[in-house]
Structure 1
Amino acid sequence: MSAIHPTAIVDPAAQFAGDVSIGPYAVIGPHVAIGARTTVGAHCVIEGHTTIGEDNRIFQFASLGAAPQDKKYAGEPTRLVIGHRNTIREFCTFNTGTAQDRGETVIGDDNWIMAYVHIAHDCVVGSQTILANNATLAGHVHVGDWAIIGGLTGVHQFSRIGAHAMAGFASHVSQDVPPFMMVDGNPLAVRGLNTEGLRRRGFSPQRVAGLKQAYRLLYRQGLTLEAAVTAMQEAGQAHPEAVQDIALLRDFVAASRRGIAR
């Protein structure tokens, strides 16, 4: 049975799996679905067409599923989709999508999202990410798996942050951040490969060595982006343990539309 505090306002049309907990004075709208064992803290507001998976912890005063902060939004039934086992701390704001893009904002699994984080319309956040306090994602931002975004960091609309990348405290991210890189500052600058993060996630020395070679091609040898992409193809062949990692980096750079942080 779900545990719903008597002061919570829950629309009868909302859908709950077993063992959901709804705290005092929370407000749950009619188009909300919440998976098993998820806890919703006091004074949270969950509205819009919002689907939340299992085993999430949503702390007090979060606002999830509100209309996007986009002047073109005209009330379309866009969505917010949140996966499993996420921690969502106090005062977070996640908006639904817009009809001009994918129509949904998506957050994956096992993310650690700290207080006051804003995730705007049509963002796609992968799994196992960390978004520190006051990190702010503008509309249409994509964040890859295992990425870390430091506190007070702002990410410009349509920017992408690649898998295993790390943006430091109070950074201004207005271009794409390639996978595996560490960046910070305003203006943003690449500080190196996220070596320590990769080691903590179990990357072998051989994989790290291959990525170091790809990093040097991209940032240290004065090559154009086109030449670096071509050279990384050869680096992948020379480092078979890292071939998939280098391919991920190479494809990300080749697909960039905003340009990459350099």
Structure 2
Amino acid sequence: MSTVASSAIIHPLSVIEEGAVIGEDVKIGPFCRIGGRVTLHEGVQVISNAVVDGFTEVGRDCHIYPMAVIGGVSQSLHEAGEDSKLVIGERCTMREGVTMNTGTVGGGGITSIGNDCLFLANSHVAHDCRLGNNIILSNNVMLAGHVIVGDRAILSGGCAVHQFARIGRQAFVGGLSAVNYDVIPYGMLNGNPGILGGLNVIGMSRAGIERAVIHQVRRAFKQIFDAEGSVRANAAAIRDEYLDCPEALEVIDFICAESDRAISSPYRGKA
């Protein structure tokens, strides 16, 4: 039996399947379908002509626009109907045609989205992705499976991200870019194949990072990518120089962490 809060407003032309949990002040417009394992928390709005399905939890005050399909089964070739989840945080907006898939057992069983994220029309989040807070996916952005995106990252229109890639906090990816490799925190990547063009200095400034700190991160960037030797070895070699700069350490530790992908670089072929 479904649990529907007394303050919820549900259009009579929508279908709420048995077992769904509909919270206080939820609004569901016409021609929507809410699956039987879906939880919509307080204040969620599903505008019209949208589907929320699967084992899916949508946080409070999220907005889901027409033609979005949230919680669809993964498109993985290994999908066999196992139990898996999609968990979306609070105050996220999924615009027209957005698709988000549940996880897979082989990938941890969960696709997770943080708070205050904006997904513009026709963007796609595949199985087992993990997204932080305040992220923007512009129109037609495509995340393959197992992608990790850090807080405040911005992905511009039409860019495509390879499976298992990581995009660091506050990185910026330009429109139509191909993200084949990991993108460092504060990095700015453009092109196909994607080339690391430097630091997202504007984004760092807007986030309140002081100019002196930005200069330290830029200095570390040059030491890592301009010196002889591999990027990971260069990063490890300078770590002790930046113990007093958390932002630079974040970049260094991101590079030195284990990953299925190489690191995006200003110079193709160097990893």
**CA shift in 2, pair 1:35/1:215, >3 Å:** same
Alpha-carbon offset, residue 215 of structure 1: 1.0
1:73 and 2:79 are equivalent in the alignment: yes
Runs of 5+ consecutive residues of structure 1 not aligned to the other structure: none
1:88 corresponds to 2:94: yes
1:171 aligns with 2:177: yes
> Structure 2 CA distance, aligned partners of 1:51 and 1:40?
13
Aligned partner (choices 50, 62, 67) of residue 61 of structure 1: 67
Give the residue type in structure 2 aligned to 1:185.
Answer: G
- In 2, Cα distance between equivalents of 1:183 and 1:43: 35
Counterpart amino acid of 2:50? C
1:40 to 43, 46, 49: 46
Q: Secondary structure at the match of 1:100?
A: helix
Task: Output the amino acid matched with 2:260.
Answer: R
CA contact (8 A) 2:232 2:255 kept: no
Match of 1:111 among 90, 94, 117: 117
| Residue 145 of structure 1: how far off its partner (Å) | 0.5
For the pair 1:219 / 2:221, whether they are aligned, the reply is: no
> How do residues 73-222 of structure 1 correspond to structure 2 at under 5 angstroms?
73-222=79-228
- Secondary structure of the equivalent of 2:183? coil
Deviation of the 1:67 alpha carbon: 0.6
Aligned to 1:245: 247
Match of 2:4 in 1: none
Match of 2:8 among 2, 15, 18: 2
How far 1:213 moved relative to its partner?
A: 1.2
For residue 256 of structure 2, the aligned residue among 234, 254, 257 is: 254
Contact 2:70 2:101 in 1 (8 A): yes
Matching residue's letter, 1:151: G
> What is the CA deviation profile of residues 129-178 of structure 1, one whole-angstrom value per residue up to 9, with x for unaligned ones?
11100000000100010111111000011111010111100000111011
Contact 1:217 1:223 (8 Å CA) reproduced? no
**Alpha-carbon distance between aligned partners in 2 of 1:94 and 1:35, rounded to the nearest angstrom:** 18
TM-score w.r.t. structure 1 length? 0.96
**Segment of structure 1 superposing worse, 245-254 or 112-121:** 245-254
Q: Deviations over 1:27-56 (max 9, x none)?
A: 000000011111011010011000011011
Query: RMSD of the alignment, in Å?
Result: 1.1
Structure 1 position 221, deviation (Å): 2.8
Q: Give 1:231 shift.
A: 3.7
Given that 1:214 and 1:235 are in contact with CA atoms closer than 8 Å, whether structure 2 keeps it comes out as no
Tell me which residue corresponds to 1:22. 28
2:144, 2:163 within 8 Å by CA — same for their partners in 1?
yes
Question: Which amino acid in the other structure matches residue 234 of structure 1?
Answer: D
Sequence identity percentage: 38
Shift of 1:233: 1.1
1:9 CA drift (Å): 0.5
Q: How far apart, CA to CA, are the structure 1 residues paired with 2:132 and 2:237? A: 28
Tell me the number of residue pairs that the alignment of Structure 1 and Structure 2 aligns: 258
Q: Does the 8 Å contact 2:164/2:260 carry over to 1?
A: no
After TM superposition, what 4+ stretches of structure 1 lie above 6 angstroms from structure 2? none
Q: How far apart are residue 17 of structure 1 and its match?
A: 1.2
Following TM superposition, by how much is the alpha carbon of 1:204 offset from its aligned partner in structure 2, in angstroms? 1.1
Deviation string, structure 1 residues 173-212 (Cα, Å, up to 9, x no partner): 1110111100010111011111000001111112212111
CA deviation string 1:39-77 (max 9, x = no partner): 011010011000011011111110011110012111111
SS of the aligned residue for 1:50 comes to strand
What is the aligned partner in structure 2 of residue 233 from structure 1?
Answer: 239
Q: Distance in 2 between matches of 1:230 and 1:57?
A: 43
